[in-house]
Amino acid sequence: MSAGHGRAAGRRLIKGARPLGGPPADILIDGQVIADVRASGSGGRGSEPDSDVLVIDADGLIALPGLVDLHTHLREPGREDAETVESGTAAAALGGFTAIHAMANTEPVADTAGVVEQVWRLGGQAGNCDVRPVGAVTTGLGGSQLAELGAMADSAAQVRVFSDDGRCVADATLMRRALEYVKAFDGVIAQHAQEPRLTAGAQLNEGEMSARLGLAGWPAVAEEAIIARDCLLAAHVGSAVHVCHVSTAGSVEIIRWAKSKGWRVTAEVTPHHLLLTDDLAVGYDPVYKVNPPLRTAEDVAALRAGLADGTIDCVATDHAPHPAESKETEWSEASFGMTGLETALRVVHEAMVNTGLLDWAAVADRMSARPATIGRIGARAAGPGELRHGCPIAAGSPANLVLYDPEPIAAVDPAVHASRSRNSPFAGMKLPGQVVATFLRGTPTVLDGKLTT
């Protein structure tokens, strides 16, 4: 691949890429938008570019719309030893993302207009991808008092997704009030479904492995009970609930039932829950400690089927960086969480494409179009068109694109990741694919697999 480096918008011709894995095409970018998409070799402007057009040879690469993550922990403000907006968005760009939603469990918590505007501004300064702050549902994630949802929605950050992620909004009355409140501005409550009393002290999926290892069990019902309750609440008040990181077969069944009623319920699954099981905990390595926990092979199969049939709308990373001292300790002391931005597309390739469950068009739907719609930044979102994500690869769309080479197979090496943290459960695992380039509104953030500067 050859191209002019550096972050300047201009005219670029991506030659021979395969949009959504289909036939090769030439994609002309002019400034911030896609100006033209035509079959390769069809003549005209596509084959004889003007001298001011930078040509990018993308022969054999798959072109997807820039990926959108609904669930990223950037850790800034407060835990810059684990991640910063700068490092986390660099990791996102290297993973093919052009927009991410930054969770609210920072220090201080993102529960005011001031904090969400700070995160939003830092995202703009870094310039690696769009950062959409998620606002806390309750003040300080305390679970007892609604945060300033309206002020966050009206702020420069224009928050539309609210979540106490890391904690569950356990109080049914508060959850109802939050769902009612966000209806006024078409917001959505993203719930971390974890019944707190059923999971007090829980360490690993409740089952054979937790019994064998002597770790306190985390029952599936603790997730499923909250999801069922919140689907009913959302239906009762006519509002929108989004279920974070679905991890059990029963949860998929409940969401399928709620959707069959026409209720406004959406859901996400993480890459790690699509590929890994609780068997990996056998050596007590805390790199496999995560919330919700890794489950069984039956759960993994149900999650894959749910993502394939659309019951689960999208993949979201739950990228949760932690410094080494928080993970390289004994299991019960270690923090919950795994990094995921830089491996997400490769894991989905392995778990969903190589198994024949999704084609690349469906991957684009589950990792770009649908999460963008749920995050209120999709093709039909309110507000300026140039800030939309998940749009088709077609003339007139913002030029948010990822070029992906499906051919290489290589072991994951967290040491080379842009994230400040190294807690990848995929370390050493051979996975297919490589993100070669990412374009944010026509500007390359990644070229030749490396961050541009």
Q: Which residues are catalytic?
A: 318
Q: Which of residues 166-225 bind Zn ion (CB under 5 A)?
A: 192
Per CB under 5 A, which region of 41-49, 159-167, 209-217, 350-358 contacts Zn ion? 159-167
| Helix ranges (DSSP H) in 324-396 | 324-327, 344-348, 360-364, 370-374
CA nearest neighbour of 138 among 108, 109, 101: 109
Size, binding site for Zn ion by CB under 5 A? 3
- Cα–Cα distance for residue pair 424/274, rounded to 1 Å: 15
Q: Which residue, 74 or 244, has its beta carbon nearer to Zn ion?
A: 244
Confirm or reject binding of residue 165 to Zn ion (CB under 5 A): yes
Q: Which residue, 130 or 165, has its beta carbon nearer to Zn ion?
A: 165
Q: Which residue, 34 or 244, has its beta carbon nearer to Zn ion?
A: 244
CB of 61 closer than 8 Å to CB of 436: yes
Q: Is the preceding omega at residue 19 within 30 degrees of 0, hence cis? A: no
Q: Which residue, 247 or 400, has its beta carbon nearer to Zn ion?
A: 247
Confirm or reject binding of residue 289 to Zn ion (CB under 5 A): no
Confirm or reject binding of residue 73 to Zn ion (CB under 5 A): no
Closest approach, Cβ 357 to Zn ion, in A, equals 24
Per CB under 5 A, which region of 16-24, 146-154, 162-170, 358-366 contacts Zn ion? 162-170
**207: CB partners within 8 A, 6+ apart:** 217, 278, 296
Q: Which of residues 240-259 bind Zn ion (CB under 5 A)?
A: 244
Confirm or reject binding of residue 272 to Zn ion (CB under 5 A): no
- Cα–Cα distance for residue pair 251/221, rounded to 1 Å: 9
- Cα–Cα distance for residue pair 27/148, rounded to 1 Å: 43
**282: CB partners within 8 A, 6+ apart:** 209, 212, 213
Closest approach, Cβ 161 to Zn ion, in A, equals 13
Element (H, E) at 86: helix 85-94
Confirm or reject binding of residue 389 to Zn ion (CB under 5 A): no
Q: Which residue, 245 or 389, has its beta carbon nearer to Zn ion?
A: 245
CB of 412 closer than 8 Å to CB of 76: no
Element (H, E) at 309: helix 297-309
Closest approach, Cβ 163 to Zn ion, in A, equals 8
Closest approach, Cβ 105 to Zn ion, in A, equals 9
Per CB under 5 A, which region of 34-42, 158-166, 308-316, 415-423 contacts Zn ion? 158-166
Which residue's Cβ has the minimum distance to Zn ion? 192
Interacting residues with Zn ion (CB under 5 A): 165, 192, 244
